[in-house]
Amino acid sequence: MAKSPMVLVVEDESALADLLRYNLEREGYRVAVAVDGEEALMLSSEAPPDLVLLDWMLPKASGVEVCRRLRARQETRNTPVVMLTARDEESDRVRGLDMGADDYVTKPFSMSELLARIRAVMRRIRPALADDKLSCGDILMDRVAHRVRRGAREVHLGPTEFRILDYLMQHPGRVFSREQLLDAVWGSDVYVEARTVDVHIGRLRKALNESDERDPIRTVRSAGYSLDMATADAA
């Protein structure tokens, strides 16, 4: 089973951060909290979240600055960002959206409205998280039946290869380090050598690719692996 989506809450008011954590966890999300912009950037590079809930007014680095820097990084380039702002001036909203925020909510807000907006952004940007079926190029995954097809061909995968592919298909184009894949697929409480990831990626490639097919898994030197949608589409 894939892990539930992770929301990074960036909020310096601890009472609000606690309230957000409580409500998001009740909705089934995993939650990490950062109390300032620097911590947000650090946490998001350690474990890229599926969505960032970002306060506009933050100590150390402003929400806009955090958003800009998240967008500049490979691993968070496509991560949805919902901004929380006390300001409701049109120019600030436009600026937030210009910096790459996907949506904004003006404080004070109703929790149920905020949760609905988060669900909507998740659905729009990562339909994978809500779906039983994933597709990337000519690869199709049925997560309930545990079946994978490439084109017309059935692909047989071991459980670990299945989980790796599931995770990569949820985040097409995003580069994951071996450590991030270990954490996502094996869990952070299990000790597995980073090389083990290479072994399973090797098996996954062998199962996915027949001789004339293009390899959809990209090895990024000294960084890790990604599922390259453009490559898969071209196959």
Binding-site ranges for Ca ion (CB under 5 A) = 12, 55, 57
Q: Which is nearer to Ca ion, 19 or 57 (CB)?
A: 57
* Nearest-approach distance from CB 86 to Ca ion, in angstroms: 8
SS (H, E, C) the chain: CCCCCEEEEECCCHHHHHHHHHHHHHCCCEEEEECCHHHHHHHHHHCCCCEEEEECCCCCCCHHHHHHHHHHCHHHCCCCEEEEECCCCHHHHHHHHHCCCCEEEECCCCHHHHHHHHHHHHHHHCHHHHCCEEEECCEEEECCCCEEEECCEEECCCHHHHHHHHHHHHCCCCCECHHHHHHHHHCCCCCCCHHHHHHHHHHHHHHHCCCCCCCCEEEECCCEEEECHHHHHHC
* Nearest-approach distance from CB 85 to Ca ion, in angstroms: 9
Q: Which is nearer to Ca ion, 28 or 108 (CB)?
A: 108
* Nearest-approach distance from CB 58 to Ca ion, in angstroms: 6
Give residue number: closest CB to Ca ion.
57
* Nearest-approach distance from CB 23 to Ca ion, in angstroms: 18
